[in-house]
């Protein structure tokens, strides 16, 4: 990672935090009953209408299977052939493309985790890579802008600089859903355990403690 100084990873809950249950925002894991969620697999392309059609089929399959939420991948709505195409495709969260996904949530009665949306950014040269959670009523419950951008210079390999066309977010987010309190992250965030420690120990994000049961290994495929 170039140009960003990261704090050392946490190896224990911060002193005084009391863990997830000790925070003012802490959710009671026992209050969340068994729910079924779906994870959708798809190969997005540069056609936003075609991607929406695939996501719609996945949502219909998830609803028919009795799921309460569908998790879709990063760049679910668009993958272009160049950063310039992503810049051109970006829209605000109040724009027509996100409105269609909000309508999809209403039509299917599902919560949608939209893993990475090209949100219009702070200037014409940058977008936000935004993880959007839409509730079953079609309301945007949370919008997390990816904090850790993928800036990597591989020796004798490619130079990948997400920051050239993407602006970083600055706020860690959790959201309460039928599946519990979820911490929102995207892709390269996984390399920074201090973010996950903060979400779990200070913000009350749930999971990883035996509260999840894998019911089916067949993913929904678009």
pLDDT in tens, 166-200: 999 999 999 999 999 999 999 999 999 999 999 99
pLDDT of residue 206: 86
> Does 128 fall in a domain?
yes
State the number of CA atoms in the 13 A half-sphere of 12 facing the CB: 3
Name the token pair of 29.
């894991």
Residue 112 has pLDDT above 50, yes or no: yes
- Classify residue 96: in a domain, yes or no: yes
Residue 30 has pLDDT above 60, yes or no: no
Collapsing DSSP to helix, strand or coil, 148 comes out as coil
Q: Which range, of 51-55, 80-84, 86-90, averages the lowest pLDDT? A: 80-84
Is 22 part of any domain? no
What integer pLDDT is reported at residue 21 of this predicted model? Answer: 28
Confidence grade of residue 34 (pLDDT, cut at 50, 70, 90): confident
Say if residue 105's pLDDT is above 50.
yes
Rounded Cα distance, 182 and 208, in Å: 11
Residue written as token pair 């990873």: 9
- What does the pLDDT read at residue 173? 96
Task: Identify which of 126, 121, 118 has the alpha carbon closest to the alpha carbon of residue 98.
Answer: 118
- Decide if pLDDT at 120 tops 70: yes
Helix (H) or strand (E) segment spanning residue 161: strand 159-161
Q: Tell me what pLDDT residue 58 has.
A: 96
Tell me the percentage of the chain whose pLDDT exceeds 70.
78
Number of structural domains (the chain) is 1
Instruction: For residue 21, tell me if it sits in a domain.
Output: no
- Domain encompassing residue 214: 34-221
In terms of Cα–Cα distance, which of 192, 222, 188, 200 is closest to 72? 222
Catalytic residue positions, numbered: 74, 146, 187
> What's the CA gap between 45 and 1, in Å, rounded?
28
pLDDT value for 147: 96
Whether residue 6 lies inside any domain: the answer is no
């310039």: which residue's tokens?
A: 84
The answer to whether position 2 is within a domain reads no
In this structure, what DSSP letter does residue 64 have?
H
pLDDT band at 215 (very low <50, low <70, confident <90, very high): low
Query: What CATH number is given to the structural domain containing 190?
Result: 3.60.110.10
Give the pLDDT confidence score for residue 90 in this predicted structure. Answer: 97
Q: For the chain, give the mean pLDDT.
A: 84
Mean per-residue pLDDT for 58-82? 95
Specify the pLDDT at position 222: 64
**What CA–CA distance (Å, rounded) separates 74 from 212?**
22
pLDDT for the residue numbered 32? 56
The answer to whether residue 97 scores a pLDDT higher than 70 is yes
């Amino acid at each position: 990672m170039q140009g960003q100084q990261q704090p050392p990873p946490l190896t224990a809950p911060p002193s005084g935090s009391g863990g997830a249950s000790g925070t003012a925002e802490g959710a009671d894991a026992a209050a969340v009953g068994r729910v079924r969620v779906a994870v959708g697999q798809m190969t997005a392309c540069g056609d936003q209408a075609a991607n929406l059609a695939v996501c719609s089929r996945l949502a219909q399959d998830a609803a028919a299977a009795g799921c309460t939420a569908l998790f879709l991948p990063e760049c679910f709505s668009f993958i272009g052939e160049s950063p310039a195409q992503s810049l051109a495709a970006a829209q605000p969260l109040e724009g027509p493309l996100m409105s269609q996904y909000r309508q999809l949530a209403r039509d299917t009665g599902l919560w949608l985790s939209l893993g990475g949306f090209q949100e219009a950014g702070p200037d014409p040269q940058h977008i936000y890579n935004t993880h959007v959670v839409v509730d079953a009523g079609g309301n945007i419950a949370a919008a997390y802008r990816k904090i850790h951008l993928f800036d990597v210079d591989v020796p004798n390999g490619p130079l990948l600089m997400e920051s050239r066309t993407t602006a970083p977010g600055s706020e860690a987010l959790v959201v309460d859903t039928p599946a519990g309190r979820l911490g929102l992250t995207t892709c390269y965030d996984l390399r920074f355990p201090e973010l996950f420690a903060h979400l779990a120990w200070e913000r009350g994000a749930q999971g990883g403690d035996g509260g999840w049961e894998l019911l089916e290994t067949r993913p929904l495929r678009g």
